[in-house]
Amino acid sequence: MNVLVVDVGGSNVKILATGQDQARKFPSDPTMTPEAMVAGVKTLAGDWAYDVVAMGYPGPVRQGAIAQDPHNLSPGWVRFDFEAAFGCPVRMINDAAMQALGSYERGIMLFLGLGTGLGSALVVEGVVVPMELAHLPYKKGTYEYYLGKRALERLGKKKWREYVELCVSQLIVALQLDDVVLGGGQVKVLKELPAGCRAGQNSNAFAGGFRLWEPGREHFSRVA
């Protein structure tokens, strides 16, 4: 079975299929609709063979279906029929949860995606627990307000790095973590990783997507 993994982000949509060595991508922005995303993926993957799709979505996913429109893309994603649009079975998971699944090694692990927004997911003894830390109140805003891409632009590198270190240290204690993986495009801005953290690899999202179609993960199947 060939799997096409689609990682939908606020800045890019990235894809990789079984048997391929090089990922492909195209830009996304706040005007991107689900129809445009699917059309872009099908065009970009036009010469790849795939039987099923694994999709990482930048927002809450419940029982394999989108629960809320994304903050950094166009509305219209809730109740969109991705299986009909792609013409094959689709398993869907939050994008941070997909990276977390591909990054997992041991114990209780937290994944934080420092990207356009702030992705988060917990993996407890191999079980993925999606989270929405991004919009949880923190200080005078939310976690995303202090850790997202706009925060980096607003605060500057030095202050943003301080908030990353502070928030991570608090979460390690609060959640009793064994491991923390920092992913996303803004990780490269960190001079050094906070204590107890390791850097995620872009390929981990694809690894997580392929794992979605492993036997025993049928609960990620899309529910109408």
The confidence score (pLDDT) of residue 223 equals 34
Residue boundaries of the structural domains of the chain: 3-97+204-220, 105-200
Output the pLDDT for position 60.
Answer: 87
Confidence of residue 126 (pLDDT cuts 50, 70, 90): confident
Higher-pLDDT residue of 146 and 117 is 146
Residue 84: CB partners within 8 Å, gap ≥ 6?
A: none
Pick the residue with more confidence: 115 or 7?
7
pTM of the model: 0.81
pLDDT at 138 over 90: yes
Task: Write out the two tokens for 96.
Answer: 């941070």
217 pLDDT band, cuts 50/70/90, is low
In this model, does residue 188 exceed pLDDT 60? yes
Query: Do 105-200 and 3-97+204-220 have the same topology in CATH?
Result: yes
CATH superfamily of 3-97+204-220: ATPase, nucleotide binding domain (3.30.420.40)
> What average pLDDT does the segment 11-34 reach?
96
State what percent of residues in the chain have pLDDT above 90. 75
Q: Which residues pair with 27 in a beta bridge?
A: 12
Q: pLDDT class for 139, splitting at 50, 70, 90?
A: very high
Superfamily of domain 105-200: ATPase, nucleotide binding domain (3.30.420.40)
